[in-house]
Structure formats: structure tokens, C-alpha cells
Structure 1
Amino acid sequence: MNPARLDRAFKILEYLGHHQEGAALKRICEDLEVPMSSAHDLMHALVQLGAVRLADQRTYLLGPRSLVLALSIVDAVDLRQVSRPYLTDLCEELNENTYLALRSGNIVTYADRYEAGQTLSVVMKLGGARPLHGSSVGKLITAYNPDLEERVLGSADLERFTPFTHVDREVLRQEFAAIRTRAYSVSDGESVEGIIGLSTPVFDATGTVGAAVHVSAPRGRLAPERLPEVLAAMSRTSASISAQLGAPAEVIAAKSPSDVLALERERLGSTPGSS
């Protein structure tokens, strides 16, 4: 099989992976701009190999061999290993401690940490649960997961960690929506006074956010004029990790410093309790 034909086969499998309901050959060819004649023979070969199956006479879906391979790949991917070089580079670029945060059930924890050479630094404990409503990583992962958002907004009691912790459910609802729009989260003294936490989303191959890139530092080192640079660098890091995990291209969108500057002007003008 020549490289062009092999590439076409991978594109078809990737397409079916994003269309779990299946698709007709004509639609596949139109969306991928593949000639029907060559796609027909290729699809027939994929069906014979078990990589694709026919649900009926017209609808193609991923076959058992593709599903087994996909699960094997997922099992082989260690998120910490994938993210390590990117978080290390980010740590060196910003000279701030960088973290990988993960969702585990209904909690969010720090799973990995890379320490900079700052004399005064914020060292977050690995493995400890972070508040879903009072930390940047908690708010970010909650914002991208409807079940967690429902859990937070339906909670009978939201703990106030500092005077700046948001415990008003309508304020939190607006905050979660704003985080999805911005594609980053900021915690300004909400869990620890004087500390700013920043988080950007890591998408997996299904487009789900179950992890985040995180930076925490004293407010003096993350002044408003520096945030666009820092958040843009974090956004690039998250986008690179997401791409390595096979995230859909449409959900990966790194922010530029000018993008963040505009978003920060809006956030600081509208976020209750910001300072």
C-alpha cells in the first residue's frame, strides 16, 4: 500500500471515530474530499480486515480491530509522561512552578509538579483534592464537565475559604460559562489570600477536559500586566499536550497575548470580588 492510500485509510478511521453513529460512504467521501471509486475499494479492504464494519447496507462504523487498537493506545498513554516536556519548558519559560491537574471522579488533584528557582514560591501538595468552586483548576474542570457543574451548583453548602471565595450559585454559574468562553480560569485569592492561580484546559481524544495546566504564584508576580504573557504561554502548552493526546482540532485553540489582554479587560471589569 502506498503512503497516500495508507493516509486515506487513517483519515477514514479518524472520521468514523468522530462519527460514532456511523456514516454512509457518499458522506465520508464528500467530507474528506476523497474520490468515491478509490474509497469504495479501500473501505471494502478495511471491512475485510475488521477495522470497519457495516451496520446496514449503507452505514459504516469502526470495527472491532479499530476499537481494540484504540483502547490499547489509550492504555499506553501516560498523561504525565506526555505532558512532562511541555510543563518543563513552561516552567523554564515563566520561571514559575507548573502543575498538571487531573480529574478523578468528583475531585480534582495535582498529579505532577515542576519547580522553578523562585525564592518565594507556592508549592501545592500532590494528590490533595482542590475545591471545585474555589480554585482555578477546580473551576476550570468543573466548567467543562456538566456533571461536576451540576454537583457544585446543587450543593447545599459551599465552603468560603477566604473573603474572595465565590459561594453565590448564580455568580458561579456565570463564572463557569465565562471560563468556557475564555478557555482559561483565574482564582484571585479565592482559596489562599494573596495567591493567584491560573489554569488552562487539556482536551483528550474525545474532546473531554479531564486535566489542566496550572500555575500558582504570589499576586505580585502575576500582576495584571504580566497575565496575558503567562496565560498565552499556558494556553500554548495545553494546546500542545491536547494535540499529543489526539484531541479534535476544533477544540484546540491557543490564545495569543492580545487575545488574553482583551479577555482580561472584560474579566476584571465584570468579575465580582476581583481585585
Structure 2
Amino acid sequence: MTADAVPAQTGRSAPDRLLAVLAAFDHTHPALCLTDISRRAGLTLSTAHRLVGALTQWGALERDADGVYHIGLRLWEVAALAPRGLALRQIALPHLEDLYEATHENVQLAVRDGSEVVYIEWLSGRSAVGVHIRVGARWPLHATGVGLVLLAHAAPEFQDEYCAGPLASFTPHTITDPARLRRELAEVRRTGVAVSSRQVTDDALSVAAPVRGAGGAVTAAVSVVVPHADAQVPALVPAVRLAARGISRALGWQPDEV
């Protein structure tokens, strides 16, 4: 259910109501008046007014000269402390820049949040293929290269649950068959990379590789997205693997050397 469809509810706890106010904002609704916040959060106008006032005073929201509210910088300060957010981005950025210089295509870094992939960094050139990605964007795991990597290395119980659920389709090439998805995940684990072709748009292909933390667990994924028509996958795989390996080492991962 989207924020637009949230019905007014009673009996919710104070934290739930506060979070509902913040959840009213998203990438398609970055600026909201009080009435819109009330409607999207499912709160009475008086309750929304009280909560918005408290959040504005703390700095979680900011009110402009027209009386419209935006997310405040105080939330950015708090979010910067997340180990899978800005901290990871800062560690990974030199390696992402190297990958971009090697390809001059879209380069992405993402983490898993439940059944979705969340993009925490994105580098793009003027001539790179167009993608529906931005920092903070979310997509279902099965539809992207980074998502396939993260899903392939998730707990088996989670994979079973995900494959049993509905698999959203974005193009005729999106994987929507559970059996095919399971085969794809096994291939990702076998080869160490994921190749996602035309799953989100008809003209793009991505190659992704896992990023491991100090303990060896996959904590993120890095990818490069190129035009499908002239994709040179064998040439892209080593570059993506090198970037992922560099980020992993920077995070403290020490692979067993053969």
C-alpha cells in the first residue's frame, strides 16, 4: 500500500505516527504541505500539525517560505552514521571511480533492505545508457544485477520465501518464473557475478559482483550498466570483480589466497 492509500487510523503509537509523517515523503513527493502530509500519513490534520511541529523543531523537517515541508538536514546527519549508508559509500567511492574510468558507463553500489535493493551510490557519464536509478532508489531484488547478487547470497530461507512470492515484471525479459530465478541465483553463486539483461529497461544490461565485509559475508553489491546492444560482458566481468574485491578489502575482508 502506498502512502497515498494509507487510511486514517486510530490507536497507533506515537512512534508509529511520527514514522508515518516521515514516510509520507518519498522521491516523487519530496515537498508536501501539511494537508498532504496528513492525508498521506493517515492522520487527522490536528495530529499531523502537532507531529510536524515537533519534527520541524528537532530538524527532521524544514518549512520553506511558502509553508511547504521538506526533509531536514538533521536526518541526513543521522543517516550518515549508518554503516551501510554514507560510511560504506565513502569507503567504496575510490573503487567505484576506478570502475567508472575503466568503462565510462553507469556504476552503482547497492545494499539489501528486506526484499528490495537500495542504491547508495551511482556514478554516470553524459553518454551512458539511461537508467531508472538514483541514490536512495529501491527495486525488487530479482530485477537488477545487484539485486540478484544480494539475493543469491541471502539466507536459503529468505530465498525460498522470496521466490515463492509475486515477482514483479517491468519488461518482457524480467524474470518472473520462480524456477528460472532459482537457476539464475545458483549461476550467480557459481560464477561470482550476475548478468541482468533488459530486466528493468529494454536497452540496458548490468554486470554485478558481491562486496564482502570483514567476516566474509556479502554486505553489498557493485555493478556497471551498459547498453544491451553493444555489451561486452567478458570484458566487463574482470573490471566489476576488481572493484568489488577492492571495496571488500577496504572493508577488512581477507580472502584465502590460493
| Same fold per superposition (TM over 0.5) | yes
Distance 2:173 2:132 in 1: 21
Q: TM-score, normalised by structure 2?
A: 0.62
- RMSD, matched Cα: 2.4
| Equivalenced residues, count | 175
CA–CA distance in 1 between the matches of 2:161 and 2:206?
22
Q: Distance in 1 between matches of 2:181 and 2:129?
A: 31
Q: Where does residue 151 of structure 1 map in the other structure? A: 161
Per-residue deviation, 1:117: 3.8
Counterpart code for 1:244: A
More off after superposition, 102-111 vs 83-92: 102-111
Which residue of the partner structure matches residue 232 of structure 1? 238
Q: Conserved in 2, the CA contact under 8 Å of 1:137 and 1:212?
A: yes
Q: SS at 1:78's partner residue?
A: helix
| Structure 1 equivalent of residue 249 of structure 2 | 243
> Is contact 2:196-2:205 (8 Å) kept?
yes
Q: Is the 8 A contact 2:171 2:202 kept in 1?
A: yes
In structure 2, C-alpha distance between the alignment counterparts of 1:198 and 1:148, rounded to whole Å: 23
Provide the TM-score with structure 1 as the length reference: 0.59
Deviation track 1:234-257 (CA, whole Å, cap 9, x = no partner) reads 10110111111112413x89xxxx
Gaps of 5+ in 1: 1-73, 254-275
- Cα distance in 2 for partners of 1:192, 1:151 equals 26
Aligned to 2:227: 218
- 1:91 paired residue among 72, 76, 100: 100
Task: State the 1:119 CA deviation.
Answer: 6.1
User: Identity of aligned pairs, percent?
Assistant: 30
Looking at structure 2, the residues matched to 81 and 149 of structure 1 have their Cα atoms a distance apart, in angstroms, of: 30
Moved more, 232-241 or 123-132: 123-132
Displacement of 1:227: 1.4
How far the C-alpha of 1:120 sits from its partner, in A, is: 4.7
Contact 2:129/2:225 (8 A) holds in 1? no
Larger-gyration structure (1/2) = 1
Asked whether the equivalents of residues 103 and 109 of structure 1 are also in contact (C-alpha less than 8 Å), the reply is yes
After superposition, the C-alpha distances for 1:29-76 in whole angstroms (9 at most, x for unaligned) are xxxxxxxxxxxxxxxxxxxxxxxxxxxxxxxxxxxxxxxxxxxxx79x
Higher helix proportion, which one? 1
